């Protein structure tokens, strides 16, 4: 199967699904055009994710999820300009961002389900780890890290604030499926894990929780702040200030 065929299917899904529109806040769309990357299920980088200083030994390789796996398809769904512009304002998350975080993940899950069924209809096996009953989070680290999978698939690199910078920036959501069809892997146009980050420090100033400094992000401080938004904005939560109003919001800064 060709990557172009998959890109077309994913793009059409995002354009056509009514889930990508939020009428109650007059948000015309949550996501813009998606980016797609592919990695071989045999890529040696998947094994390196088991290192303690990367994800951890609990991280499962593609063939632990699907024994006959041949390829991993990863995608980035960039938040629309309306979502990003709204969240540039103030210290609290914008309403548009909160909806993009929660309702946007519903879109992401629907895309996962769509692609699994799409590949199955074409005669292949497919699985979305993010929807699988085996998916688990251990000490705030999942056994299938969408960011690290996207790195292997050539979609981008990490930033100082531990976000993930793609050619469409860092403001958005990631997802993936594992399939039994052999698809040509996309090129990793980088060498270092943080190559797309300019280390400009803009995210440090943007963080309302003061969880970021020159050495990176303190996940505990960040999580405490986000947990607080869950109480204030229930049933939604989020922040994303370090992903908006920064040079890497919608592009690679260098």
Asked if the model's pLDDT at residue 13 lies above 90, the reply is: yes
- Please compute the mean of the pLDDT values over residues 98-122 and round it to a whole number: 97
How many Å from the N-terminal Cα to the C-terminal Cα in the chain? 33
pLDDT at 140: 80
Asked if the model's pLDDT at residue 254 lies above 80, the reply is: no
Residues present in the chain in total: 254
Asked if the model's pLDDT at residue 87 lies above 80, the reply is: yes
Percent of the chain with pLDDT over 90: 96
Q: For residues 77, 174, 161 and 192, what is the CA-based torsion angle, rounded to 10 degrees?
A: -100
Residue 1 pLDDT class (50, 70, 90 cuts): confident
pLDDT at 172: 98
Asked if the model's pLDDT at residue 39 lies above 90, the reply is: yes
Q: Which residue has the tokens 């592009």?
A: 251
pLDDT at 181: 97
Q: How far apart are CA 146 and CA 178, in angstroms?
A: 12
Q: Which residues contact 126 (CB under 8 A, 6 or more apart)?
A: 66, 115, 116, 118, 119, 120, 177, 178, 179, 180
Predicted confidence (pLDDT) per residue in 133-190, tens digit:
999 998 788 999 999 999 999 999 999 999 999 999 999 999 999 999 999 999 999 9
- Please compute the mean of the pLDDT values over residues 13-35 and round it to a whole number: 97
| Reduced DSSP (H G I as helix, E B as strand, rest coil) percent helix, strand, coil of the chain, to 5 | 35, 15, 45
- Please compute the mean of the pLDDT values over residues 19-43 and round it to a whole number: 97
CA distances from residue 137 to 50, 60, 144, 145 in whole angstroms, order as listed: 14, 12, 9, 9
- Please compute the mean of the pLDDT values over residues 92-114 and round it to a whole number: 97
Q: How far apart are CA 91 and CA 241, in angstroms?
A: 8
Q: Are 54 and 163 in contact (CB under 8 A)?
A: no
Residue 120, CA atoms < 13 Å, CB-side half-sphere: 10
Asked if the model's pLDDT at residue 67 lies above 90, the reply is: yes
pLDDT at 252: 97
- Please compute the mean of the pLDDT values over residues 23-43 and round it to a whole number: 97
Predicted confidence (pLDDT) per residue in 184-216, tens digit:
999 999 999 999 999 999 999 999 999 999 999
Average pLDDT over all residues of the chain: 96
User: Three-state DSSP class for 126?
Assistant: strand
Residue 120 pLDDT class (50, 70, 90 cuts): very high
Q: How far apart are CA 222 and CA 150, in angstroms?
A: 22
pLDDT at 139: 78
């Amino acid at each position: 199967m060709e990557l172009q065929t998959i890109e077309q299917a994913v793009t059409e899904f995002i354009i056509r699904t009514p889930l990508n529109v939020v009428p109650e806040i007059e948000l015309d769309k949550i996501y813009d055009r998606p980016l797609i990357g592919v990695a071989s299920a045999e890529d040696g980088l998947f094994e390196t994710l088991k290192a303690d200083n990367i994800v951890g030994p609990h991280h499962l390789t593609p063939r632990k999820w699907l024994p006959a796996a041949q390829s991993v398809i990863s995608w980035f769904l960039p938040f629309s300009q309306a979502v990003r512009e709204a969240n540039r304002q103030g210290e609290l998350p914008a309403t548009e961002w909160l909806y993009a975080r929660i309702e946007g993940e519903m879109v992401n899950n629907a895309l996962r389900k769509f692609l699994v069924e799409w590949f199955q209809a074409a005669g292949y096996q497919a699985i979305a780890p993010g929807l699988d009953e085996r998916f688990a989070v251990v000490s705030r680290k999942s056994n299938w890290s969408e960011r690290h999978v996207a790195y292997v698939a050539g979609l981008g690199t990490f930033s100082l604030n531990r976000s993930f910078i793609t050619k469409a920036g860092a403001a958005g959501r990631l997802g993936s499926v594992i399939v039994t069809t052999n698809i040509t892997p996309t090129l990793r146009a980088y060498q270092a894990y943080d190559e797309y980050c300019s280390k400009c420090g803009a995210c440090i100033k943007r963080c309302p929780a003061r969880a970021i400094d020159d050495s990176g992000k303190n996940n505990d401080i960040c999580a405490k702040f986000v947990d607080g938004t869950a109480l204030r904005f229930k049933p939604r939560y989020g922040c994303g200030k370090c992903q908006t109003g920064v040079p890497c919001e919608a592009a690679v800064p260098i």
